[in-house]
Amino acid sequence: MILEKAERILEKHELCDHCLGRLFAMLGKGTNEERGKAIRFVLNMERSARGLQPIEEPEECELCHSAFDRVPELVETMKKASEGIEFETFLVGSRFPEEIKEKEKAIWEAFDIETAEPINREFNRELGKAFGKATGKETSKNPDVVFIVEPFSGKVEIQINPVYVYGRYRKLIRGIPQTPLPDFKDSVASIICRAFSKAFEGKCVFKGAGREDVDVRMLGNGRPFIVEIKRPKRRRVDLGKVAEEINASGKVEVLDLRFVSAKEAEEVLTKNHRKEYLALVLVEEGVTPEEAEEVARRLSGLEIHQRTPWRVRKARADKVRVKRVHEAEARWVDEKHFELRLVTDGGLYIKELVSGDKGRTRPSVSELLGKKAWCERLDVLNILDE
């Protein structure tokens, strides 16, 4: 049946061994070229026994126009196009003219072929094997780079896939935002990204797992963040040296830098973390040690209903969020101040938890005290993963 079908096809179409073998790609093992050679060889033996002329492989295939003969030349073009780019893994894609793909499908339909493989799939595989052999690089489903090749024009495009790095940052001083803002020379993101862009030779995009206000420090174990480096020319980077450069700023420190996958990066950014805070509370009317301790006792385990704070109403949806204070401890400082250490759900606005935000947060420290209270200073002590 295979020989009979192959003979009918070859009598009407001048196909190379690649294109002949590809018609029966789902049958047997080996490459399509090997398959095509074997079919042609046995077919010509039978034709000889019947006194018929052999059907030789044409000088130029009418379907692929001998695209597979261009593989060595295209490998050299790919090598030249990727000079100066560090990568270990790759994939190959190709763009064939529509008329070739349509003609291939027409042959399948005309001769009732159900075992074929599309031309671009074989071409990608064969070009990938040749490039891997020439360079020592390996193919991967999650490659460092993707080559898009046009077999006839010889044009090669390179898609350089991003690098993702996880870390945690400490913001050691007040007065710098997490991301760039007008009137601020530096930000956490700009300090971190300068070092990453320089090391990887690509564009750095910073993404924090939450954020703190400009006047709030981030201390302790640091806030998780992800940097995505787009189109990096360097991938084999010493993250320890990147950390040293960032930490030398004296404003921001980074910890635990490591490479992660895109999926791991997304999980870091979507996870809801509990947070530990230290707030310095100001009570103008005065506060006693007993009052401070009573506020902490009543806050611990309390459910808070917090409408979007007045100060961020233009940037956040106006809705009521229900959050919980898991732990609260007080330390009296003086007649007008006490410190409040809190462990809360992520997303609870601490300044408004203290002030009440004109009734938008309930209950609040002000409400529990029966006196107006303000958060004079705030630090994030730790971001709790569990």
Contact 278, 378 (CB under 8 A): yes
Q: Is 213 a catalytic residue?
A: yes
**310 DSSP assignment:** G
Residue 12 has a CB neighbour count (10 Å cut-off) of 11
What kind and span of H or E run contains 6?
helix 2-12
Alpha-carbon gap, residue 265 to 327, rounded angstroms: 29
Structure tokens at 196: 């990453």
- The rounded distance, in Å, linking the Cα atoms of 143 and 92 is 10
SS3 call for 178: coil
- Look at the block and give the residue holding tokens 């400490």: 170
**Residue spans of alpha helices (H) in 15-118:** 17-22, 32-49, 71-81, 98-110
Tell me the longest C-alpha to C-alpha distance in the chain: 114
Q: Which residues contact 39 (CB under 8 A, 6 or more apart)?
A: 2, 3, 6, 20, 21, 24
Q: Is 349 annotated as a binding residue?
A: yes
How far CA 102 is from CA of 7, 112, 153, 287, 386, in Å, comes to: 22, 15, 19, 83, 56
| Cα 348 off chain centre by | 28
Selecting among 69, 112, 186, 213, the annotated active-site residue is 213
CA-CA distances (angstroms) from residue 242 to 171, 190, 205, 265, 337? 17, 14, 15, 19, 41
Q: Nearest Cα to 118, choosing from 130, 101, 99?
A: 101
Query: Is residue 235 a contact partner of residue 163, using CB atoms and an 8 Å limit?
Result: yes
Sign of the four-CA dihedral 6, 11, 13, 14: positive
The answer to whether 277 is annotated as binding is yes
Compute the half-sphere exposure of residue 126: CA atoms within 13 Å on the CB side of its CA: 23
Say how many C-beta atoms besides its own lie within 10 A of residue 130's C-beta: 17
Q: Give the burial string for 84-110 (b: 16+ CB within 10 Å, else e).
A: ebbbebbbbebebeeebeebbeebeee
Binding residues for substrate: 277, 349
Binding residues: 277, 349
Catalytic residue positions, numbered: 213
